[in-house]
Structure 1
Amino acid sequence: MSEVLYAKGVDLFYGKTPAVANAHISLFSGEVAAITGQSGSGKSSLLYCLAGVLPITRGDVYFEGCSLRSLDDEKLSTLRRERFGFVFQYGELLPELTIEENTALPLRLAGRRKGDALDAAGEILGRLGLADLRKRRPSQVSGGQSQRVAVARALVHKPAVVFADEPTGSLDSSNASAVLEEFLALARSQGSAVVLVTHDAQVAARADNRYTMSDGVLTAQMEEAS
């Protein structure tokens, strides 16, 4: 495995208030890292720092050895669009697009031909058991199905890293477990690393590495000796 993401001494301040304090994290291809913590602990802020969405105050984040702080806005946007994937708590599907069009969106934004992008979308939707829903719109599918579509969209372009912010937080326990299992299995099978923010200890237990966040401070959880 190769290291794809490395954060060193990351600080994020909102005014004089620290949201993230001296965070260090390393992530390898196909690896899942979970960050847990109370609401307001800074875990989502850290996630968006790692993804280059929030500008950090001090420290740096490296993707495949390249400093995100060295990239201008255009190059950073291209990186997020082509090499990163995102899954949000409520899916955030575009209501005017069909399920297959939503799924194909990252490929279309990267310049892929419409037919090729829709073929790739159909393939990954099939792997998630959603092939029959391709022509429906988000309002015509269930919450669990919608979140599976969000997973498909995040993974369709085979990103190096997927950033998932409470990806099962809006689902009941049965749907949450099924969606998480499919998400992580598919990500691992294609070598995509995952940074997973969650408040659910059972979700975090599925990760390879687990961290807790409290008052902006990130701490690695050590495995207990058996």
Structure 2
Amino acid sequence: MSASGLSRLRGSVINTSEVLSARYVDLFYGEAPAVKGANITLHRGEVTAITGQSGSGKSSLLYCLAGVLPVARGEIRFEGQILGELDDEELSTLRRERFGFVFQYGELLPELTVEENTALPLRLAGQRKAEALAAAGEVLGRLGLSGLRQRRPSQVSGGQSQRVAVARALVHRPTVVFADEPTGSLDSANAGAVLEEFLSLARSQGTAVVLVTHDIEVASRADIQFCMRDGVLSPMDRETA
């Protein structure tokens, strides 16, 4: 990230628990609207779930929030800085150093060990190998994976692989984690265990989590719930969710 980009981010940090917000965000694929006027705010240590059917726009909104997809209208702010004002290099650095990602199928690198996969965000940020592997070992231990450190992804189960993906997303203590159907590939028993460990560790680190899911049971573990339908994001009443 350039010096000007760093100074913009540092100079614009807001002194509250709010870390990321979207205001009246629109996104189009061609002429077709995917997100319509979305408003959402993420806070430190808080888990926010977005539910909805396939094609409702929830994953599209997730990638707008992460700065992967540029919005057509509206704005997204991270710690007060408008993402649309950052250049590609600054956005890449932000995603690498301040954000974490968990996907449905883990997306581990097959040629790396469990330990090396977990340490990857730290290595990409320039941390020395020994220090990165030590930090990876610590978070793997918190997820009950210490005995798997030298295995490769092909040598662990689906549930274990997804725990490694969670460890990788949290090892650098990101400000926000974006989770796109993080338990969608798991059976119900593994899904519940992985989700519980993921959210517990994120909350303990003060990391904000935005969780996209079609599963109401998964969404019920969140602090705040939204529903998305035909691109429109609406808050859900926990009493009736």
TM-score range for the pair, normalised by the shorter chain length = over 0.9
Deviation of 1:222 (Å)? 1.8
Aligned to 1:57: 72
Partner of 1:34: 49
Of 50, 56, 76, which aligns to 2:91?
76
1:123 has 2:141 as partner: no
What corresponds to 1:173 in structure 2? 188
DSSP 3-state at the match of 1:145: helix
Q: CA deviation at 1:223?
A: 2.8
TM-score (norm 1): 0.99
Cα deviations by residue, 1:7-31 (Å, 9 ceiling, x for unpaired): 0011000011000000000111000
SS in 2 for 1:9: strand
Q: Tell me the equivalent position of 1:154.
A: 169
Q: How does 1:72-111 map onto structure 2 within 5 Å? A: 72-111=87-126
Q: CA deviation at 1:195?
A: 0.3
Q: Which residue of 160, 166, 181 corresponds with 1:145?
A: 160
| 1:78-114 per-position Cα deviation (integer Å, ceiling 9, x unaligned) | 0000000000000000000000000000000000000
> Matched residue of 2:179: which SS?
strand
Contact in 1 for aligned 2:225/2:238 (Cα 8 Å): no
- What are the superposed Cα offsets for residues 191-212 of structure 1, whole Å, 9 maximum, x if unpaired? 0000000010000000000000
Report the CA distance between 1:179 and its aligned residue.
0.1
* Count of residue pairs the alignment pairs up: 225
Q: What is the aligned partner in structure 2 of residue 220 from structure 1?
A: 235
Task: Indicate the SS of the match to 1:139.
Answer: helix
Determine helix, strand or coil for the equivalent of 1:22.
strand
Unmatched 5+ residue regions in structure 1? Answer: none
Matched residue of 1:213: which SS?
A: strand
SS at match of 1:52: coil
2:208 aligned with 1:193, yes or no? yes
The CA deviation string for residues 161-215 of structure 1, in whole angstroms up to 9 with x for no partner, is 0000000000000000000000000000000000000010000000000000000
Flag structure 2 segments of 5+ consecutive residues without an equivalent. 1-15
AA aligned to 2:45 is G
Give the 4+ runs in structure 1 shifted more than 6 A: none
Q: For the residues of structure 1 that align with 2:78 and 2:45, how far apart are their CA atoms?
A: 14
Question: What is aligned with 2:3?
Answer: none
Q: Kindly report which structure 2 residues correspond to 1:6-45, keeping only aligned pairs within 5 A, or say none.
A: 6-45=21-60
Alignment partners' CA distance in 2, 1:219 and 1:34: 11
Output the CA distance in 2 between the equivalents of 1:7 and 1:69. 12
Kindly provide the amino acid, as one letter, of the partner of residue 215 in structure 1.
D
Matched residue type, 1:102: N
Aligned residue among 173, 191, 206 for 2:221: 206
Query: 1:34 is matched by which residue type in structure 2?
Result: A
Letter of the aligned partner of 1:221 in structure 2?
A: M
Q: CA RMSD in A?
A: 0.8
1:16-71 CA distance string (max 9 Å, x none): 10000000001110000000000000000000000000111111100000000010
Q: Which residue of 1 aligns with 2:150?
A: 135
Q: Normalising to structure 2: TM-score of the pair?
A: 0.92
How many angstroms apart in 1 are the aligned matches of 2:88 and 2:42?
24
